[in-house]
Amino acid sequence: MKRLWDDNELTAEWMLEPSDQSLLANKTRGTRLGFAALLTFFRREGRFPASKREIPATIVGHLARQVGVPAETYVAYNWHGRAIKCHRVQIRTALGVRETSVEDADKLVHWLTAAVVPHDRALDRVRTAAYVRCRELRLEPPPLSASS
């Protein structure tokens, strides 16, 4: 993901929607900002970020202004606790997406093997095809490591 965004790009791609306010209503400070970051990232990328560092500071600042908390509170958001698991469930539900099952993953591998890999073996393009396919199927993609 690119690190530098201008104001027009931030407004076009990283704005919370009016319907998001009900999802944010019971969250405060870093939790509110962390949730907003997860939600907008998933909406844009079709997956959750692997770590808080994956979301550039310019985006965090933009989201912080939208939710009315200091950008510095983002560092307090716990990426390994119970809250983030609950937040992911809330986001999946709100966006109509479900976790990928083992059966879904097997079907995805079969589809990639049959439809993508015979024509393109470049890892970044195969990964992109997998993300697009998951988005079409309304699935949260399984973790795809950069080294796999």
Angstrom distance (rounded) from CA 56 to CA 58:
5
pTM of the full structure: 0.86
pLDDT score for 144: 61
Top pLDDT among 98 and 1 is at: 98
pLDDT score for 105: 93
- Domains of the chain, by residue range, sit at 7-96, 99-140
Would you say residue 97 has pLDDT above 80?
Answer: yes
CA angle 76, 78, 79 (to 5 degrees): 130
Angstrom distance (rounded) from CA 148 to CA 146:
6
Which amino acid, one-letter code, is at 25?
A: A
pLDDT score for 4: 87
pLDDT score for 146: 47
pLDDT score for 29: 87
Residue of 44, 27, 43, 139 lying closest to 87 (CA atoms): 27
